[in-house]
Structure 1
């Protein structure tokens, strides 16, 4: 249920930002606004706006498929609002390295839920490393996707030039794993056990 609410709010805010450029400019992560005007809310609000419909659709489909599983797990570990706490904190934590790197750059802007969605995805991979996920219409074990995803993100972050915040993807992935381990340390042992016993059933 909370996953659907987060998706609905994100779609609504993103849609309104598409129609109203002033709203997008107020919500987007723009370092000088945080540094000079103390608009710290931008560290969170940037996660509810997107560059275009395809950007929004990709993030929300990913959140739909994996968010429901993590919501169920989080509700058992830390209560019914645990997933919302996890997701919102992931938006902020995932963007912090980027913000600190560009905090004095007036030309830098960032938006999108990719960091938080990455956190959700990797929390899921920690629980189900061998489950098959669909990548460009092809089934792939989740743990294999994780390795490829992180490797590609590191390479593209160093290369740059595509206007995608790959650093946030990496930070989100790390945060998703650490948050899950903090909430339930036994997950680490279960992950290693499952990792050593591949099962695609």
Structure 2
């Protein structure tokens, strides 16, 4: 890694359970939003409010806001299983930057698309964009790991990432389950890919092909 580049300058390795901290923040947001459902008006990402009222914090708070118990449960389950492993591999500071930046960029990208298509009242919420980014990171660092679908069917991590990407792409193109922000999921994958290329100098495609490893 080129230490002369500010973009690629590494953090000193430290591990302080950032993934668990993120889970706790999500739970706090969920409890708050459940007690006061109107609060989602302020914490979800709504293009009309960002443009009209300057609610710019929504680019970050949307990824800590969830619709219901199953929504937060499965996102936090993914963060627990995959995020903790990625964090141990790259360190907590790098993991926090990776998670928050990819989540922010996925939200920003969705905001731009919603705005250009006139969907000012769209409501984007959930950690899925950042979680999909974490899933790609897990596949890059643990390309031979088996992930058991439904606890039964073993699938190599890179194949699972490719499969998820294909499903999300077709779902977006065919408008299947329009309540799910497939575009945000795909953006999470894409921005994670570029994070590896630009920040970490790792090409995920080469890793998946069995080439360069880190």
TM tier relative to shorter chain: 0.7 to 0.9
Name the SS for the 1:185 alignment partner. coil
Q: Against the structure 1 CA distance between its residues 40 and 129, is the aligned structure 2 distance closer, same or farther, given a 3 Å change threshold?
A: same
Question: What is the deviation of 1:184?
Answer: 2.6
Who is 1:179 aligned against? 195
Name the SS for the 2:210 alignment partner. helix
Who is 1:141 aligned against? 156
Aligned length: 192
Question: What is the deviation of 1:53?
Answer: 0.6
Distance 2:126 2:89 in 1: 25
Who is 1:26 aligned against? 42
1:81-105 per-residue CA deviation (whole Å, 9 max, x = no partner) reads 2211211111111122221111242
Give me the CA root mean square deviation: 2.0
* 132-141 or 119-128: bigger deviation: 132-141
Distance 2:169 2:206 in 1: 27
Who is 1:92 aligned against? 104
Q: Report 1:71-150 matches (<5 A).
A: 71-75=87-91, 80-103=92-115, 104-137=118-151, 138-150=153-165
Q: TM-score, normalised by structure 2?
A: 0.82
Who is 1:164 aligned against? 180
Instruction: Give runs of ≥4 in structure 1 deviating > 3 Å.
Output: 186-190
**Structure ranking higher in helix proportion:** 1
Q: Is 1:37 aligned to 2:37, yes or no?
A: no
Name the SS for the 1:81 alignment partner. helix
Q: Against the structure 1 CA distance between its residues 149 and 193, is the aligned structure 2 distance closer, same or farther, given a 3 Å change threshold?
A: closer
Who is 2:13 aligned against? none
| 8 Å contact kept, 1:34–1:42 | yes
Name the SS for the 1:134 alignment partner. strand
1:132-178 per-residue CA deviation (whole Å, 9 max, x = no partner) reads 01222222111111111011000111122520001111110122222
Q: Is 1:52 aligned to 2:68, yes or no?
A: yes
Unaligned runs of 5+ in 1: 197-201
| 8 Å contact kept, 1:127–1:187 | no
Unaligned runs of 5+ in 2: 1-16
Question: What is the deviation of 1:12?
Answer: 1.3
| 8 Å contact kept, 2:196–2:202 | no
